[in-house]
Amino acid sequence: MRRLPIDLDEVAEALTSHVVDCSWYLDTDTGRVFLLDNLILESVEDGDIDELPAEDLAIARSLLSDEPRYLLVVDPGWDPYQVMDEFVETVDDDELVDSLNEAIASPEVFRELLEEHPRWHKRWEEFEEQRGLEAARQWLSEQDIEPLSL
């Protein structure tokens, strides 16, 4: 197992967030987690590289080669709806449970509803963060990487 200095919070964010037209990567040499605009990869594929910063160009070329330095950070098993559902099971306020179950189809509405209940909102944030960190540890283990604390 390779040991790398990695910020687990960054890996968790990469696994649990969705950014349109961008992808998260892990640099397996440095442990850095970063977001790259997919248009950069398309530009390099198309040979349109005149306007690209040197670092982005080097990363894109590496990604398009078979060089294994950069790993796409993605967890096909991460399901935000399942995480919300698991959280609802911990709530002991029946009225709030009913409201959350109705709101679960929309993460934004779910969060807004919890903001009206500060105690449960704080618990939700802690619960979601914990699930994200668990997913990050699991994903790193599957990549045969042991995170070293920064």
Residue-by-residue pLDDT tens, the chain, 150 positions:
899 999 999 999 999 998 889 999 999 999 999 999 998 988 888 887 788 888 888 888 888 888 789 999 998 788 999 999 999 999 999 999 999 999 999 999 999 999 999 999 999 999 999 999 999 999 999 999 999 976
CA 121 to centroid of chain Cα atoms: 20
Q: Is residue 137 within 8 Å of residue 148, measured between CB atoms? A: no
Element at 5 (helix H, strand E): strand 2-5
Rg, C-alpha atoms of the chain: 19
**Tell me, what amino acid is at 82?**
Q
- Give me 104's structure tokens: 């679960």
Return d(Cα 59, Cα 70) in angstroms, integer.
8
Instruction: Give the pTM.
Output: 0.85
